[in-house]
Amino acid sequence: MIPVLEKLAAGYRAFRTLYFETNKTLYRRLVKDGQKPKVAVIACSDSRVDPALVLQAEPGDIFSIRNVANLVPPFEVDGDVSYHGTSAALEFAVTCLGVEHVVVFGHAHCAGINAMVQGQQGGDVAGTFIPAWTSIAARAFERAKHEEPCSEGEDLLRCCERNAVLVSLDNLMSFPFIHERVADGRLQIHGWYLDIAEGALATYDPATKTFVPVS
């Protein structure tokens, strides 16, 4: 077997022996009764940011939605057949599973936000699908330049990453089924930001409009 795949296969064998066998009852209950997570997490596809690992969640704890740059697109319905993977996952989590919390889980050193910034600064963004997708966060660039007009380089990227979380929170509220549930108290939405180099998590406080470290 190819070495990198053998590493994954060895990981599976360790999972099967060390974890599954001691948690077999949990897995079978989740199959029998179905999943009932209370939290949906919108995280980045980045291989360094696994929300289940960072949050030490058990199977069934979180409904994980992952995409480039942990973005939530605005609500839109196309006349023709189209594909809205993140929107479909949100709809399933909120209307079918009845999650009580939706967390936008941003992170530092995000290549997707870096691509967005390059595009906003007039640079070329590689790929067929990446430029359009990351442009969802264009307002984060505008907000960052308003907050810190002189910021450049890594400082600008960090500011854009945090503001991209806020753009996604705004976009969440454009979905009628989310807006309705937030308004009547059935659902709460949250913005979190992880500094992966330091392992430091912060949560957005709407009252102070700042990200507050989790101690």
| Model pLDDT for residues 173-201, shown as the tens digit of each residue | 999 999 999 999 999 999 999 999 999 99
Task: Give domain 35-213's CATH number out of 3.20.20.140, 3.40.50.720, 3.40.1050.10, 2.60.40.10.
Answer: 3.40.1050.10
What was the pLDDT predicted at 80? 64
The mean pLDDT value for 152-170 works out to: 97
What was the pLDDT predicted at 151? 85
What was the pLDDT predicted at 79? 61
**Percent of the chain beyond pLDDT 70?**
99
The mean pLDDT value for 151-170 works out to: 96
The mean pLDDT value for 106-132 works out to: 96
Q: What is the pTM for the complete model shown?
A: 0.95
What tokens were used for 90? 């949100």
Confidence grade of residue 82 (pLDDT, cut at 50, 70, 90): confident
Q: Please, are residues 130 and 117 in contact by the beta-carbon 8 Å criterion?
A: no
Residue 38 neighbours by CB under 8 Å, 6+ apart: 61, 99, 100, 101
What tokens were used for 145? 């330049």
Q: Which residues pair with 111 in a beta bridge?
A: none
Tell me: pLDDT of 210 over 90.
yes
The Cα–Cα gap between 207 and 58 comes to 31
The mean pLDDT value for 40-47 works out to: 98
Q: Which ranges in 83-152 belong to alpha helices (H)?
A: 85-91, 111-120, 130-134, 138-147
Tell me: pLDDT of 81 over 70.
no
